[in-house]
């Protein structure tokens, strides 16, 4: 298995090969995703929701996310590991963004970072890439701005389409190696994908992006309750785990576990 690098993703776009990205937050799942052949793993700030149980991604800190990055990197030595920059750790200036990105590379051993925003983040993207750190941008619905976007809403509809296209072009020109498009109409995402030379990664952005990403718990059926329209469940990991835990508890209760073969 080759180690995935940024230039491989560019080549895959040239060759019309689609690739997949999944989130990962720990060593054990990163290992499984690597074995499954997922070339790019994102240590998303969605850890705020699925690891720490916050309602939004706003509260998660660098100190909460960094140790997760280290675990994922150790679990998936061939994957390109991208670390999300948390809300409030890069927006103020290019200097702040570079300092935070540098921590994720130096202390987290990430291979790239991701940040939210289009035109408004070009200074940050340029400064980070100039320092030798690959940047994945994220446009369309940007969850860290949920409070100003008026909730979980499709972006780039109607008049918003021009802004979305401008954002995608701006991040490419600033040096991003790839761009996530979240919750945008499929036809707009297709237009952007054809216009850009860098790969687009869709989540709720239709079928014409160069790549796709999902939060792994959504992908594997590990989240409880209602999931977004753009989620497809490819497994029932939550049910599996629940029934394993219940069977274990029951066998401990009855004394069936541990049996002779588990004993010394």
Which spans of this chain sit near ligand KIV (rule: CB under 6 A)?
23, 42, 44-46, 84, 138, 180, 203, 213, 215
Which of residues 135 and 180 has its CB atom nearest to ligand KIV in the complex?
Answer: 180
Any binding-site annotation on 261? no
Residue 44 beta carbon to Na ion: minimum distance, rounded to whole angstroms: 4
CB 32 within 8 A of CB 72: no
Any binding-site annotation on 116? yes
The b-or-e profile of 16-46 (16+ CB within 10 A means b, else e) is eeebbbbbbbbeebbbebbeeebbbbbbbbb
Nearest to residue 214, comparing CAs of 229, 231, 199, 226?
Answer: 231
Largest CA distance in the chain: 71
**Helix residue ranges, H only, the chain:** 6-14, 27-35, 47-50, 62-75, 94-106, 122-130, 146-149, 160-174, 186-195, 216-219, 237-254
Q: In whole angstroms, give the CA distance from residue 25 to residue 63.
A: 14
Q: Does 45 bind Na ion (CB under 5 A)?
A: yes
Any binding-site annotation on 84? yes
Judged by beta carbon distances under 5 to 8 A according to partner kind, the member of Na ion, ligand KIV, none in contact with residue 218 is: none
CB 138 within 8 A of CB 214: no
One of 34, 84, 167, 182 touching Na ion (CB under 5 A): 84
Residues with Cβ within 8 Å of 219's Cβ and at least 6 positions away in sequence, in order, are 22, 231, 232, 233, 234, 235
Which of residues 34 and 116 has its CB atom nearest to Na ion in the complex?
Answer: 116
Which of residues 84 and 210 has its CB atom nearest to Na ion in the complex?
Answer: 84
Which of residues 111 and 138 has its CB atom nearest to ligand KIV in the complex?
Answer: 138
Any binding-site annotation on 26? no
Judged by beta carbon distances under 5 to 8 A according to partner kind, the member of Na ion, ligand KIV, none in contact with residue 192 is: none
Q: Does 204 bind Na ion (CB under 5 A)?
A: no
Active site residues: 182
One of 21, 29, 44, 220 touching Na ion (CB under 5 A): 44
Give the range of 66-74, 76-84, 183-191, 216-224 binding Na ion by CB under 5 A: 76-84
Distance, CA of 112 to chain centre = 12
- By beta carbon distance, the residue nearest ligand KIV is 44
Q: Quick one: tokens of 65?
A: 């996310």
Q: Does 182 bind Na ion (CB under 5 A)?
A: no
Which of residues 122 and 216 has its CB atom nearest to ligand KIV in the complex?
Answer: 216
Residue 179 beta carbon to Na ion: minimum distance, rounded to whole angstroms: 13
Q: In whole angstroms, give the CA distance from residue 141 to residue 59.
A: 18
Residue 65 beta carbon to ligand KIV: minimum distance, rounded to whole angstroms: 10
Instruction: Give the annotated binding-site residues.
Output: 45-46, 84, 114, 116
Instruction: Give the annotated binding-site residues for 3-methyl-2-oxobutanoate.
Output: 45-46, 84, 114
């Amino acid at each position: 298995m080759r180690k995935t690098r940024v230039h491989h993703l560019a080549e895959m776009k040239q060759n019309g090969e689609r690739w997949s990205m999944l989130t990962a937050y720990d060593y054990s799942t990163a290992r499984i995703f690597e074995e499954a052949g997922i070339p790019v793993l994102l240590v998303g700030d969605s850890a705020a929701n699925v690891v720490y149980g916050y309602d939004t991604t706003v509260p998660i800190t660098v100190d909460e996310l960094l140790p997760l990055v280290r675990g994922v990197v150790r679990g998936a030595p061939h994957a390109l590991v991208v670390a999300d920059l948390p809300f409030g750790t890069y927006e103020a200036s290019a200097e702040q963004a570079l300092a935070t990105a540098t921590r994720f590379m130096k202390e987290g051993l990430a291979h790239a970072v991701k940040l939210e925003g289009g035109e408004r983040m070009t200074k940050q993207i340029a400064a980070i890439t100039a320092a030798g750190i690959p940047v994945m941008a994220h446009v369309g619905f940007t969850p860290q701005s949920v409070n100003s976007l008026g909730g979980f809403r499709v972006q780039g509809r109607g008049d918003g389409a021009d802004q979305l296209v401008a954002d995608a072009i701006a991040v490419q020109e600033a040096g991003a190696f790839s761009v996530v498009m979240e919750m945008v109409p499929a036809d707009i995402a297709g237009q952007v994908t054809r216009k850009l030379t860098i790969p687009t990664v869709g989540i709720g952005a239709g079928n014409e992006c160069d790549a796709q990403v999902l939060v792994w718990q959504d992908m594997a059926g590990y989240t409880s309750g209602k999931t977004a329209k753009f989620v497809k469940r490819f497994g029932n990991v939550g049910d599996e785990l629940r029934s394993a835990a219940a069977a274990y508890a029951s066998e401990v209760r009855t004394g069936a576990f541990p049996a002779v073969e588990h004993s010394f």
